[in-house]
Amino acid sequence: MAVDLHLHSSASDGTDPPDVVVAKAAALGLTAIALTDHDTLSGIPAARAAAARHSIDLVPGVELSVDHAGLKIHMLAYFIEPGPGPLQDRLGALRSGRDTRNVIIVQRLNELGYPITMEDVLRHASGDAVGRPHIADALVEAGSIASRSEAFAGLLSDGGRAYVERDRLTATEAIELTLQSGGVNSIAHPLTINTDAPTLRPVLADLRDAGLAGLEAYYSEYSPTIRGQLASIAADLGLVATGGSDYHGAGKPGLEIGTGRGDLVIPATALERLQQRRP
């Protein structure tokens, strides 16, 4: 009984439509999945309809980029229903912050000699949360760059030549809004915060005290040893060890739903324990 609690669709920067993500997950034998597009719930209705057809459980979710004590953290919010609500209402503002930033990034790229336009970028986006991966796709199409990851290296990544900040929630705001919306949070790919356990633990303990429920221990890009270490940190701190592939379709080549790079297994108990943390 395996699940996958971190999946992207074309509602944000994945390449498969939401119903296709769900159909693939069901065909792979998963019992439940969470769709966690960046800053949008717009894929949830189609995913939910597909989940009913394919007899798989769908958790409505969203991935947020937040600030905490000078750190950039990705936070997954689960059990967030599309429609109005405390967190839901903030997502629109986060998406318009993306739109403003995308225009500035494209201007920077033009100054650097990459002749792409916002129209080029938008041709690669089919949802309402447009971001750097779509800008990367436009660069690849223009011919000067080979892949999304090559576009990030040096240009689009944090500190890259065309990098531009955008408005974010703070971690504590995100947790409060999520709880008010009836959801719970897990920290996505926690080693992007810091790879050093003595540094990571106090940050996680702070966020737990602010209402954080989980920590993404079972993550595609981590070795089985690291996953085990993160699961035991989660247990020590009273957090649920959650997991997900961070599937993006062709946007992250070689990364499969459920199994990640081949060795990922996310126990269904992760979702059961997360359910028990719902406010």
Site residues (CB under 6 A) for ligand AMP? Answer: 13, 38, 65, 131-133, 148-149, 152, 157, 248
Site for Zn ion in 116-175 (CB under 5 A): none
Q: Does 37 bind Zn ion (CB under 5 A)?
A: no
The distance between the two most distant Cα atoms of the chain, rounded to a whole number of Å, is 52
**CB closer to ligand AMP out of 19 and 39:** 39
Q: Return the residue of 4, 13, 128, 137 that touches Zn ion, per CB under 5 A.
A: 13
Instruction: Give the chain as a 3 state SS string.
Output: CEEEEEECCCCCCCCCCHHHHHHHHHHCCCCEEEEEEECCCCCHHHHHHHHHHHCCEEEEEEEEEEEECCEEEEEEEECCCCCCCHHHHHHHHHHHHHHHHHHHHHHHHHHCCCCCCHHHHHHCCCCCCCCHHHHHHHHHHHCCCCCHHHHHHHHHCCCCCCCCCCCCEEHHHHHHHHHHCCCEEEECCHHHCCCCHHHHHHHHHHHHHCCCCEEEEEECCCCHHHHHHHHHHHHHHCCEEEEECCECHHHCCCCECCCECCCCCCEHHHHHHHHHCCC
Q: What distance in Å separates the CA atoms of residue 100 and residue 166, rounded to the nearest whole number?
A: 8
- Residue 52 Cβ vs ligand AMP, minimum distance, rounded to whole Å: 28
Site for Fe ion in 245-274 (CB under 5 A): 246
Binds 148, which of Zn ion, ligand AMP, Fe ion, none (CB < 5 to 8 A, cut-off by type)?
Answer: ligand AMP
Among 162, 178, 180, residue whose Cα is nearest residue 170:
178
Site for Fe ion in 36-65 (CB under 5 A): 63
Helix 18-27 and helix 44-54, axial crossing angle in degrees, nearest 10: 30
Point out which span in 7-15, 151-159, 184-192, 214-222 binds Zn ion (CB under 5 A): 7-15
Binds 152, which of ligand AMP, Zn ion, Fe ion, none (CB < 5 to 8 A, cut-off by type)?
Answer: ligand AMP
Point out which span in 5-13, 75-83, 184-192, 269-277 binds Zn ion (CB under 5 A): 5-13
Binds 137, which of Fe ion, Zn ion, ligand AMP, none (CB < 5 to 8 A, cut-off by type)?
Answer: none
Binds 132, which of Fe ion, ligand AMP, Zn ion, none (CB < 5 to 8 A, cut-off by type)?
Answer: ligand AMP
Is residue 5 within 8 Å of 243, Cβ to Cβ?
yes
- Residue 165 Cβ vs Zn ion, minimum distance, rounded to whole Å: 17
Site for Fe ion in 169-188 (CB under 5 A): 188
Point out which span in 45-53, 67-75, 212-220, 226-234 binds Fe ion (CB under 5 A): 67-75
- Residue 4 Cβ vs ligand AMP, minimum distance, rounded to whole Å: 16
Q: What tokens appear for 157 in the block?
A: 């990544």
**CB closer to Zn ion out of 15 and 185:** 15
Binding mask 188-217 for Fe ion (x = CB under 5 A): x-----------------------------
**CB closer to ligand AMP out of 84 and 254:** 254
